[in-house]
Structure 1
Amino acid sequence: MATLPPRKNPTPTKISKEHLTPLQILLQLGFPKHRAEKALAATGHRGVQLASDWLLAHVRDPSLDSEEPREYILYACPTGLLGEKLENFWEESRQFEWNNAHNYIPHITLLRFFKVPDESAEQVANALDNLINQNECIERIDLEAYISPNFMGLFVNDEHAKWLEAIAIRYVNKLAFIGIIAEAQTKSLHISLAYQFSSGFFQPLRSMVQQLSPNLSANWELRLYSRDARFHDTHVHKVTHAHIPREQDELELRPGDYIYLPEGASNTTIDGWVEGISWLTGTSGYLPLNHTERTTETDSWTLHATLPITNSGTTHSELEIPRCRKLPILSSSESLDTPDGLVTDSEPVEASLPLTTLSRQIYICRHGERVDFTFGAWIPYCFESNGSYIRRDLNMPKELPPRNIQDFQNDSPLTTLGEIQASLVGEAMKSSLVKIDVAFASPSLRCIQTLSQILKGLGLTIPIKVEPGLIEWLAWYPNGLPTWMSCEELMNAGFNIDRNYVAIVKKKELPSKENVAQYYERSYILMQQIIQSTVGNILIVAHAASLAACTRQLTGGRIPSAAEVTRLVQKVPYLACLTTRQEINGWQFYPPPFPPITHTSNNRFDWKILI
């Protein structure tokens, strides 16, 4: 038998995808190293998809190639009943006036701000691992209220303060080992409740502080945050209404974005317009101030890691957020997490996990693009004085179902693109052999329209079960629930509605107010009843917050804090789809068997610029 001659130039070994880090994947996709590291740090090292999305959003950011490091800080934050009480205190005290305590979430500062190069961000987060072991955790942190005409707060008792200081110093030493210089906060550890407030509000604030029970049941956790160092002297405003630029120097506003405004800009504007910088894109421009409202600075920060430090036996129904995040490990059975539209040479875009008929699946989708978030105040623009509707943009609906015009104000329809998005998802489900047996929708018109288009794309005639319990977190409806279309009105408008369906949660049973724990509990109980009362695979179309609220406890997760819910919602695009499957050990998450849908914004064209 002939022997094989030795090869002098063997083919270089190709690195297996399962061993690639997110940075390596971004480099393979063609992103420069310094930009990839900046994106991973800015998104808390939560994966390639978020980092690539950040890079694409910041393509016009003038600071994209800046070497300015981010600023990091370490907090100890309460969850559970105390965390909820403090958040309520913040909400109520804001009604008097904005004071400096409102700039941050309830916290005890353990480390002062310290700077970290982007390439070291992951190491700094990982340094929290094994900082303390379970045996070191104490049951509670005792607090004592302090009230003065200039400052109100909750101070940590000496014994527990020393314990926290020891943890902070231990973390500082671990950082020093990797070349990061940080300084522990070891003086008068406390939670600030109010400071730099008007003297006229001293009495009502004091009364509120005296009603607090600072030693309520609570779990405590370390949270490592970072912020863009350029904006430490700015005020943060959240976008409440969309704005499409009409002039070259104007900034596009999208709900869910945050705007950095110079300190004092809100009080010095002459015409109601101010210049700000978008958190979402890093670009600057003028914007209408009344399309935003001031919010907590920490809303725009990046959460890198959390670590529980107490063990009070708080149940999962109390407010908590995820523990330290680990780098995702790509396996050969999952699709490579790449920016949408970029296909690798050896992995399909679709997930390769086979569907099985032996277990049930639940598909939960967010609705498609909505008219009000796209066009802002569209009703006066599109309705004549006689009530007739005029389509003033091709992305506006061709026609609208008949109803009271003002009811559209809080119950927006889909745009034309929103309907197309939904149809594409339905067609993708059909191509991926997704089987749907029962379909539910939130009573919001945009959700019913989305589900109707998805079912058309699937080629199914399943009637839609309208379930009021699927409405999003009621804290986002301070003026009360919208007026939804009745089943009869929807059927008259051409929707295939299940007229015999009896809602699990009636509209009149929805509370006027609810906190985030109550919202998640409502959603969890609803999902259990939907599962028990149906057979086969379930398709649900609801809201951005619904993807987590309907699945977190179902899959064994914990309820997040209100601030974390708000941040999470910002990361759920239109027609995002979540898949869960019933396994022997309970419901588990799986990648959807079809790719996501992504598109860029398209500014309104003014033909007069060519005259």
Structure 2
Amino acid sequence: MATLPPRKNLTPTKISKEYLTPLEILLQLGFPKNRAEKALAATGHRGVQLASDWLLAHVRDPNIDDETSREYIVYLCPTGLFAEKLAKFFIECKELGWNKAHNYIPHLTMLRFFKVPDELAKQVANLFETLIDMKNDCIERIDFETYISPNFMGLFVDDNQAKLLDIIAKRFINKLSSIDINADIHTDSLHLSLAYQFSTNQFQLLRSMVERMGKNSSSNWELRLYSRNAKLKDSRVHKVTHAHVPREDDELELRPGDFIYITDDACDESIDGWVKGVSWLTGLTGYLPMNHTERTAETDAWTLHATVTLPNGKIESSYDNAEIPRTRKPPILSSSESIDTPDGIARDNELIEASLPPSITSREIYICRHGERVDFTFGAWIPYCFEENGSYVRRDLNMPREIPMRNIQDFQNDSPLTTLGEMQASLVGEAMKSSNVKIDVAYTSPSLRCIQTLSKILKGQGSNLQMKIEPGFIEWLAWYPNGLPVWMSIDDLIKAGFNVDKNYEAIISKSSLPERESAAQYYERSYELVKKIIDSTDGNILIVGHAASLGACTRQLSGGNIPSPSEVTRLVQRVPYLACLTARQDNVNGWQLNPPPFPPITHSSNSRFDWKMLH
């Protein structure tokens, strides 16, 4: 038998896309390496989709190929009750006028700004995430001493606790030096700034507000690694509150949710209310009406790369220095241990039952984001998929096999699901069924993608529940600067085969939705809507909405506070398609967030959902 000769020219092994890094995927898509690395660093390495969106948004950015490294910084930020206390203080302060402390979130500066090449951004974040020793870095609480002067007000950290924090900061500096990155510890005394560079006529009012805060300490903290665009560090940041479509070639398009960098000189020298600014979203420069924006913290426009919770070993109490009362319940006797008692005297177990709160039937609310949408996956799909006679042609297997009959242009702002999106929804429904999840009433946003998602979930679960179309579950209206989309009518949905409850009367009608709303108004709308649904229904509730819906419908319900607009945007970026959140009613604590009783759904362009981030 002939012996096979050795091969010297082997075919290179094809690497599965599943094992490619985000950078390798972007390079395969044709993006230059320097731009791909810049996009990943600018978006905090949160995935290929976000990075490619950034690249497409910055395609006309004149600085897209600039080699200036981003500047990074490490903050220690309070969370929990102390953070809420500071947030209220800052809101009151801003009513007096802007001061330099408002440029940043409340924080302790651990390291000074240091530069990191874009290609090392992910490595730095990985080093940061392994910084804390959970056993040896436990700091029970951080205590402050209040300092007030005519030009600065703040809280200074106790010296002994500051030394422990310095050890952590120096450890990170050593880790950075191992990859040839130089960083310096913040040499000033560790402090949290409350107000500085304020006008003299504000001093007494600010002083009284600081004194009203009383004794300050906190046991809940997290380390955060941020970065910023070094070329724009000397500019103030404004957030866009109203959309603007350019009328002249030198004007800048404004979209709610964008941030604008504006220099102090540009603001001071404006004589007609128009200023020159740079868009955070696109990198483009142009003139804009300043009254379409409002000033916000610089940190709102920074990129958050990683967070690490500082272990404290205790639970934060809402009462400073208060003694927590201890109660001991009498033992519940079994039937064999019961003792005879004279008539008219309650037994031990009867006393216990009388002392307990009335029994509340446990209820659950499941809130899901819709599945993968066609327009986010394929871009401008309408001219590609519709013939001149208006007939739909499936150009890709991930495009829907068929779509409902309607005005073609109405799909522009009301996209259907992809084939994969429909499969995702079916999988979630099947998972609910196998986990014995019982749904008694089902609601959906009027967006087509949400209706399709709920329909597939119910089908996968084997449920015949009718869907209730609730306009109040539409996402934050700031993302619809040109007005609400045209939604399919109930009759058209029924004709298309959807099992819709045609007798349902919406709690919030489309006509009652405002033209504009802030993030706080959106959260209030969602919260009030969920409360009314809870009060008017029985059993478990399923809601299919948008990425922002998961937080908006549960944050206040579970006792949390409304986040800032920038935090809303950050959370939305971390909620993948078909992410599911569970809120469960507790006899003692009310509604609390819980992990879903089934695993998340993850694929190559869909990040893994961590429900705990919405706590």
- When normalised by structure 1's length, the TM-score is 0.66
What's 1:128 paired with?
128
Range moving further from structure 2, 243-252 or 259-268: 259-268
* Contact preservation (8 Å) 1:140, 1:312: no
- Cα deviation for residue 194 of structure 1 reads 0.2
Query: Which aligned pairs between 1:87-486 and structure 2 lie closer than 5 A?
Result: 87-135=87-135, 136-213=137-214, 215-314=216-315, 363-365=368-370, 419-422=411-414, 424-425=416-417, 434=426, 439-441=442-444, 447=446, 465=468, 470=473
Asked if residue 540 in structure 1 is aligned to residue 541 in structure 2, the reply is no
* Contact preservation (8 Å) 2:370, 2:449: no
- Cα deviation for residue 188 of structure 1 reads 1.0
Q: Distance in 1 between matches of 2:527 and 2:314?
A: 19
* Contact preservation (8 Å) 2:236, 2:262: yes
Asked if residue 76 in structure 1 is aligned to residue 87 in structure 2, the reply is no
RMSD of aligned Cα (Å) = 4.9
Residue of 572, 593, 599 corresponding to 1:588: 599
CA pair 564-523 structure 1, distance change in 2 beyond 3 A: farther
* Count of residue pairs the alignment pairs up: 479
CA pair 311-522 structure 1, distance change in 2 beyond 3 A: farther
Q: Distance in 2 between matches of 1:361 and 1:11?
A: 50
Q: Distance in 1 between matches of 2:530 and 2:158?
A: 38
Q: Distance in 2 between matches of 1:24 and 1:315?
A: 44
Give 1:46's aligned amino acid: R
Residue of 566, 569, 576 corresponding to 2:568: 566
- Cα deviation for residue 115 of structure 1 reads 1.0
CA pair 550-570 structure 1, distance change in 2 beyond 3 A: closer
What's 1:395 paired with?
none
- Cα deviation for residue 468 of structure 1 reads 8.8
Query: Which aligned pairs between 1:6-25 and structure 2 lie closer than 5 A?
Result: 6-25=6-25
Q: Does the residue aligned with 2:45 lie in a helix, a strand or coil? A: coil
Q: Distance in 2 between matches of 1:184 and 1:13?
A: 46
- Cα deviation for residue 563 of structure 1 reads 6.3
CA pair 94-471 structure 1, distance change in 2 beyond 3 A: farther
* Contact preservation (8 Å) 2:154, 2:192: yes
Q: Distance in 2 between matches of 1:270 and 1:130?
A: 51
* Contact preservation (8 Å) 1:226, 1:303: yes
CA pair 524-210 structure 1, distance change in 2 beyond 3 A: farther
Q: Does the residue aligned with 1:586 lie in a helix, a strand or coil? A: coil
CA pair 523-13 structure 1, distance change in 2 beyond 3 A: farther
* Contact preservation (8 Å) 2:23, 2:36: yes
Q: Distance in 2 between matches of 1:162 and 1:145?
A: 19
Q: Distance in 1 between matches of 2:87 and 2:48?
A: 33
CA pair 312-93 structure 1, distance change in 2 beyond 3 A: farther
Give 2:597's aligned amino acid: G
- Cα deviation for residue 313 of structure 1 reads 3.5
Q: Distance in 2 between matches of 1:159 and 1:29?
A: 53
Give 1:302's aligned amino acid: T
Gaps of 5+ in 1: 318-359, 369-414, 477-483, 485-489, 597-611
Q: Does the residue aligned with 2:111 lie in a helix, a strand or coil? A: strand
* Contact preservation (8 Å) 1:580, 1:590: no
- Cα deviation for residue 47 of structure 1 reads 1.3
Q: Does the residue aligned with 1:128 lie in a helix, a strand or coil? A: helix
* Contact preservation (8 Å) 1:152, 1:193: yes
What's 2:346 paired with?
none
Q: Distance in 2 between matches of 1:521 and 1:217?
A: 28
- Cα deviation for residue 262 of structure 1 reads 1.0
Q: Does the residue aligned with 2:140 lie in a helix, a strand or coil? A: coil
Aligned-residue sequence identity (percent) comes to 52
Give 1:590's aligned amino acid: I
Give 1:565's aligned amino acid: E
- Cα deviation for residue 61 of structure 1 reads 0.5
- Cα deviation for residue 566 of structure 1 reads 2.8
- When normalised by structure 2's length, the TM-score is 0.66
- Cα deviation for residue 427 of structure 1 reads 8.3
Q: Does the residue aligned with 2:101 lie in a helix, a strand or coil? A: helix
* Contact preservation (8 Å) 2:235, 2:261: yes
Gaps of 5+ in 2: 319-364, 374-406, 430-438, 479-483, 495-499, 513-517, 583-593, 608-615
Greater RCO structure (CA 8 Å; 6+ sep) = 1
CA pair 428-203 structure 1, distance change in 2 beyond 3 A: same
CA pair 214-120 structure 1, distance change in 2 beyond 3 A: farther
CA pair 233-428 structure 1, distance change in 2 beyond 3 A: same
Asked if residue 28 in structure 1 is aligned to residue 28 in structure 2, the reply is yes
CA pair 43-523 structure 1, distance change in 2 beyond 3 A: farther
Query: Which aligned pairs between 1:29-48 and structure 2 lie closer than 5 A?
Result: 29-48=29-48
- Which deviations, in whole Å up to 9, do the C-alpha atoms of 1:229-256 show, x marking residues without a partner? 0111101000111111111111111100
Range moving further from structure 2, 126-135 or 285-294: 126-135
- Cα deviation for residue 472 of structure 1 reads 6.9
* Contact preservation (8 Å) 2:425, 2:456: no
What's 1:49 paired with?
49
Q: Distance in 1 between matches of 2:131 and 2:605?
A: 40
Query: Which aligned pairs between 1:475-554 and structure 2 lie closer than 5 A?
Result: 499=503, 533=539, 538=542, 540-541=544-545, 544-549=547-552
- Cα deviation for residue 50 of structure 1 reads 1.0
Give 2:103's aligned amino acid: N
Q: Does the residue aligned with 2:246 lie in a helix, a strand or coil? A: coil
Q: Distance in 1 between matches of 2:451 and 2:371?
A: 13
- Cα deviation for residue 216 of structure 1 reads 4.7
* Contact preservation (8 Å) 2:142, 2:217: no
- Cα deviation for residue 562 of structure 1 reads 3.8
Q: Distance in 2 between matches of 1:546 and 1:35?
A: 33
Q: Does the residue aligned with 1:303 lie in a helix, a strand or coil? A: strand
Give 1:6's aligned amino acid: P
Q: Distance in 2 between matches of 1:162 and 1:431?
A: 54
CA pair 588-516 structure 1, distance change in 2 beyond 3 A: farther
- Cα deviation for residue 67 of structure 1 reads 0.4
CA pair 519-313 structure 1, distance change in 2 beyond 3 A: farther
Q: Distance in 2 between matches of 1:26 and 1:593?
A: 13
What's 1:347 paired with?
none
Q: Does the residue aligned with 2:578 lie in a helix, a strand or coil? A: strand
Q: Does the residue aligned with 1:125 lie in a helix, a strand or coil? A: helix
Q: Distance in 2 between matches of 1:516 and 1:223?
A: 27
CA pair 141-148 structure 1, distance change in 2 beyond 3 A: same
Give the greater-gyration-radius structure (CA). Answer: 2
* Contact preservation (8 Å) 2:581, 2:596: no
CA pair 593-43 structure 1, distance change in 2 beyond 3 A: closer
Give 1:73's aligned amino acid: I
* Contact preservation (8 Å) 1:367, 1:541: no
- Cα deviation for residue 204 of structure 1 reads 1.5
Q: Distance in 2 between matches of 1:17 and 1:453?
A: 29
What's 2:361 paired with?
none
CA pair 426-172 structure 1, distance change in 2 beyond 3 A: closer
Q: Distance in 1 between matches of 2:152 and 2:581?
A: 52
